[in-house]
Structure 1
Amino acid sequence: MRALLRSPPGAGDGGRHQVLFVLAEALPFAIALVVLVIEFSPAHVVYTGPLLVATPALAAVTMGPAGTLAAAGLALGVSIATATYNHAWGGQQVYTNFLALFLVSAASLMTSRAVRTRRDIELGQVRRIAEAAQEVLLRPVPARLGPVRAASMYLAAEAGAQIGGDLYDAVQTRYGVRLIVGDVRGKGLPAVRAAAVVLGAFRESVHYERDLVEVVDHCGAALRRDAATASAGLAGGDDVLLEGFVTALVAQIPESLDVQVVNRGHPPPLLLHDGGVQPLMPTVPLPPLGLEEFISGPPGRTDSYPFAPGDRLLLHTDGVIEARDGDNAFFDLAAAAETLRDRSRQSFLEGLRQALLRHARGRLADDVAVVLVDRLG
C-alpha cells in the first residue's frame, strides 16, 4: 500500500530538469560575459578566443535558430569590442578567430534548424498518437442511450495535450444506462495508464455485474492489480513510486424514474430539477479507488435519487469546481448550471466551457471532464 500512496517515479525530477535546462540555455551568454570581463581587465593576456567560438555551438544544443543567432551575434559583438579595446586589429589571431566564429556560427545555425525540424516532425507524430489514444479512452458519449440523451466535454489543462488523468464513459446495458466519471491522482503517462485501466474494467464489468457496487469494486481491483504488476516489474521493490488512486463516480439510470449512484471520493453530480440545482451527496463517504483498505464498514452502497422526465444530471471532475479566478475564488458550477439550464445539451456545454475559461482567464489548472444527461419523457 505504501507504493500506492507515494508520488510517481521522478516526481521531483521535473523541476530539477527544468532548472538544468534553463542553466544550459544561459551558458553561452554567461561565457560571453566572462570573456568580456577577462578582456577588459588586467587578465586580458588569457587567450579567450576558443570560448567565444564555442558559444553558438552551445546555443544550438538547447535553443532554436533565433537563440543560436543571438548567441552568435553576441559573440561577434564581444570579439569586436575586445579587439578594439586591446588594440588587437591587424593581428593574424584576430582574423582567425573571426573566421572560426563565422564557420561555427553557420554550422550551428544549420544544425539548430535541422533539430527544430526533426522535433516538429516528432511532435506531430506524438499528437497524432495522442488523438488516437483519446478516441479509445475518451470517446464522446453516445447522443442517445435508452431513456436518456447525453453529451460530453473534455478540456485538457496542459496546452497541446489531448488526454490526461480525467476519464468518463456511458454504456447502455441490460441493467440500464451506466456512466462513470473519474479523476486520477497525478499527471502524465502514469495517470493516462491508470485511466485506461479503470475504463477498461468499467467497460467490461458493466455488462455482467448486476450490482453497481460490484462494478465499482471491479474497477478498484483492476487498479490494484495494475499497481502491483508495475511495482513488481520495476527495480527497487517497496521503494518504487507509483500512481495511487482514482476518485470515481458510477451512476445507473434504469427504466424506473430514478438514478443510482456509487461515489468513491468524487465530487457529487448536480441534479437540475424543478428549477433548482441539487448536489447528490453520498449517504456514506467512501475513499477513492485504490484506497480500499481505509473502508472500515461495508465495501460500499448504492444511493438512489429521483430522476424524472425533464430532469438533467451533470457529472463532472474537480477541475471544474476548483478552477480559480484572479482573486483565487472557485468557479461556482451550480450558479453556472442554473444560468444555462434551459439550453440544449451542446449549447449548455459550450456555455459552460466559455464561462469556465472566462473565470480562469483561459488558464485551467487541471483537466476538465463533464457529462450531461437528460431524462426523456
Structure 2
Amino acid sequence: MPFAIALAVVGIELSPLHFLYTGPMLTATPALAAVTMGPKGTLSAAAFALAVSVTTATYNQAWGSQMVYTNFLAVFVVSVAAVMGSGAVRTLREKELHQVRRIAVAAQEVLLRPVPPRLGPVRAASMYLAAETGAQIGGDLYEAVQTRYGVRMIVGDVRGKGLPAVRAAAAVLGAFRESVHYEDDLVEVINHCAAALRREDAMPGAVDQDVLLEGFVTALVAQVPDTHEVQLVNRGHPPPLVLRQGTVQALMPTSPFPPLGLEDLIIGPPGKADSYPFAPGDRLLLHTDGVIEARNRDNDFFPLPEAMEALHTRTPHEFLEQLHQGLIRHTDGRLADDVAMVLIDRLAEEAGEQVGAGDASSSDRRH
C-alpha cells in the first residue's frame, strides 16, 4: 500500500492533473509503512517518498514554492519518525513473541512431558512433532506412567486443530493420569478419559462447537505388567507395532471400538483389553497417524514397518531420533499432521533388577 500510494502520486504529478495537491498522500507513505513493515521496509518507503517528492518538484519546475518545501519537510519529518517508530514496534513484538514462546514451552512441559527413560520392566522414549510452524503443542497426546498394575501408556489424536484440540487433549490426559493409579481394569481407565472429554464438551464456551461436531479423540491405552505380555484397549486408533527379532507386526484389536466422544456408536456390552505376547527383547511403538500418513512428493506413505526393522539395533532414544530424521527426509520437512510416538523395550528380569538396584544406589547417593 505505501508504495502504491507513492506510485499514484507519480502518476498524478506527471499527468495533466498535476495541479492537484498530493503532499498529504506522500506524507502518509512512510507512516503506513511503519505499521505493516519493519525498519528496513519503512526506510525504503520513506526514501521512495522523498525521491518522488524531489522528482515531481523538479519535473513541474516547482522549486522555490513554499508549498514544495513544506511538503518536502513534512515527508522528511514523518519518515524519520516512522523509521524510529517501526524499530520500537518491532522490538516490542519480538519481546511479546519471546514471552509467548516461553509460555508455550511451559505448557508443553506440563501437558506433554517426556517419558522417563526407565519405567519398571521397560526402557522408554517419547517424541512429539508439531506440524504447525512455530507450534509447541497440538492435538496429539501421549503419556507413560509406572503404577502398581504395571507400566501404563496412552497415545491419542484429537480430531480438530488449534486451542480446542489442545483443551480436549488436556482433558483426556488429566483423566488418564489420575485414573491409572486406582483403576485395575484398563477399560475403566479409558472410560474415565471418555467421561472427561464429555465434561469438557459440556462446558459452555470451553470448546468451539464446530470442532465438537467432529472433535472425537482416537486413543490407545496400553499396559505392561510384570508378566511377558502387553494389554491394549484401542478406541479407533492406529494399532501399535511390535518389533520382534527384526520383524514388525501390527497388534490389531479383536473387537474394534469407536473413538472417545462417539460412545453412542457402541453396541453391546463393553469390551475387554486384548493381550499380546511381549517378551524380553521385544520393542513396542505407539504412534499417531501423523507417522503412517506422512507422504512424499509422489504421494507415497511413510514406510514405518520397514523403517523400524532397519533401526532394530538402536537405543530407544536413537530409534525415535532416526525415525524423526526419516520422516523429515520423506516429507521434505513438510509434516501435514502432528506426530506423537512412545517407544518401549521389554527388558529381561535380570537386567531390570540390575538397573533397579543401580537406580536405588544413585538415589541414595543423591540424598
Q: TM-score, normalised by structure 2?
A: 0.89
8 Å contact kept, 1:163–1:192: yes
Would you say 1:132 and 2:106 are equivalent positions?
yes
Residue equivalent to 1:366: 337
- Supply the distance in 2 between the matched residues of 1:252 and 1:45 (Cα, whole angstroms): 83
Q: Which one-letter code corresponds to 1:277 in the other structure?
A: V
Displacement of 1:261 in angstroms is 0.9
Instruction: Select 1:144's aligned residue among 109, 118, 123.
Output: 118
Q: Deviations over 1:153-179 (max 9, x none)?
A: 112223332222111110111211110
Tell me the residue number matched to 2:256.
285
Secondary structure of the residue that 1:152 maps to in structure 2?
Answer: strand
Partner of residue 97, structure 1: 71
Question: Could you say if the C-alpha distance between residues 50 and 254 of structure 1 is closer, same or farther in structure 2, counting changes exceeding 3 Å?
Answer: same
**Equivalents in 2 of 1:97, 1:229: separation in Å?**
59
Equivalent residue in structure 2 for 1:316, among 281, 287, 307: 287
Aligned residue for 1:194? 168
Separation in structure 2 between the aligned mates of residue 228 and residue 216 of structure 1, nearest angstrom? 19
Q: For residue 294 of structure 2, what is the amino acid of its counterpart?
A: A
Task: Give, in whole Å, the separation in 1 of the partners of 2:271 and 2:52.
Answer: 72
**Counterpart residue number, 2:210:** 241
How do 1:1-377 residues align onto structure 2 when only pairs under 5 Å count? 27-231=1-205, 240-243=209-212, 244-377=215-348
- 8 Å Cα contact 1:227-1:242 kept in structure 2: no
Measure how far apart 1:299 and its partner are.
3.8
Secondary structure of 2:166's partner? Answer: helix
Q: Deviations over 1:155-204 (max 9, x none)?
A: 22233322221111101112111100111222222222111111100000
The residue number in structure 2 matching 1:18 is none
Mapped contact 2:160–2:211 kept (Cα < 8 A): no
3-state DSSP of counterpart to 2:72? helix
- In 1: Cα distance, 2:275 partner to 2:114 partner: 26
State which structure, 1 or 2, has the greater radius of gyration over its C-alpha atoms: 2
Instruction: Name 1:24's counterpart in structure 2.
Output: none
Contact preservation (8 Å) 1:177, 1:252:
yes
TM-score normalised according to structure 1 size:
0.87
Q: CA deviation at 1:242?
A: 4.0
**Structure 2 residue matching 1:230: 3-state secondary structure:** coil
Q: 305-314 vs 127-136, which deviates more?
A: 127-136
Distance between the aligned counterparts of 2:91 and 2:186, measured in 1? 51
1:199-245 CA-to-partner distances (Å, cap 9, x unmatched) read: 100000111111111111110110111111134x79xxxx9434422
| Equivalent-residue separation in structure 2 for 1:40 and 1:281 (angstroms) | 76
What is the rounded CA distance, in whole Å, between the counterparts of 1:284 and 1:187 in structure 2? 29
Give the 3-state SS of the residue equivalent to 1:267 in structure 2: coil
Say if 1:258 and 1:307, in contact at 8 Å, map to a contact too. yes
Q: Check the 8 A contact 1:220/1:289 in 2, yes or no.
A: yes
Matched residue type, 2:210: L
Structure with bigger RCO (C-alpha 8 Å, 6+ apart):
1
Change (3 A) 1:299 1:69: farther
Deviation at 1:53, TM superposition (A): 0.7
Moved over 6 A (4+): none
Q: CA deviation at 1:341?
A: 1.0
Partner of 1:6 in structure 2? Answer: none
Give per-residue Cα distances to partners, 1:249-273, cap 9 Å, x unaligned.
Answer: 1111111211111111211111101
Query: Cα–Cα, structure 1 residues 301 and 66, in superposed 2: closer, same or farther, change >3 Å?
Result: farther
Displacement of 1:79 after TM fit?
Answer: 2.0
d(CA) in 2 for partners of 1:72, 1:204: 60
Count of residue pairs the alignment pairs up: 346
- Check conservation: 1:36, 1:78, Cα contact below 8 A: yes
In 2, Cα distance between equivalents of 1:125 and 1:158:
19
* Residue number in structure 2 paired with 1:5: none
* Aligned equivalents of 2:324, 2:281: Cα separation in 1: 23
Deviations 1:135-159 (A, max 9, x none): 1111111111122111111122233
Gaps of 5+ in 1: 1-26
Amino acid at match of 1:248: A
2-structure distance, mates of 1:50, 1:288: 62
Q: Give the RMSD, CA atoms, in angstroms.
A: 1.8
Deviations along 1:294-330, one digit per CA (max 9) or x if unpaired, are 2233344322211111100001112212222222222
Cα distance in 1 for residues equivalent to 2:338 and 2:248: 23
For 1:261 and 1:336, the matched residues in 2 are separated by 23
The 10-residue stretch of structure 1 (102-111 or 87-96) with the greater mean CA deviation from structure 2: 87-96
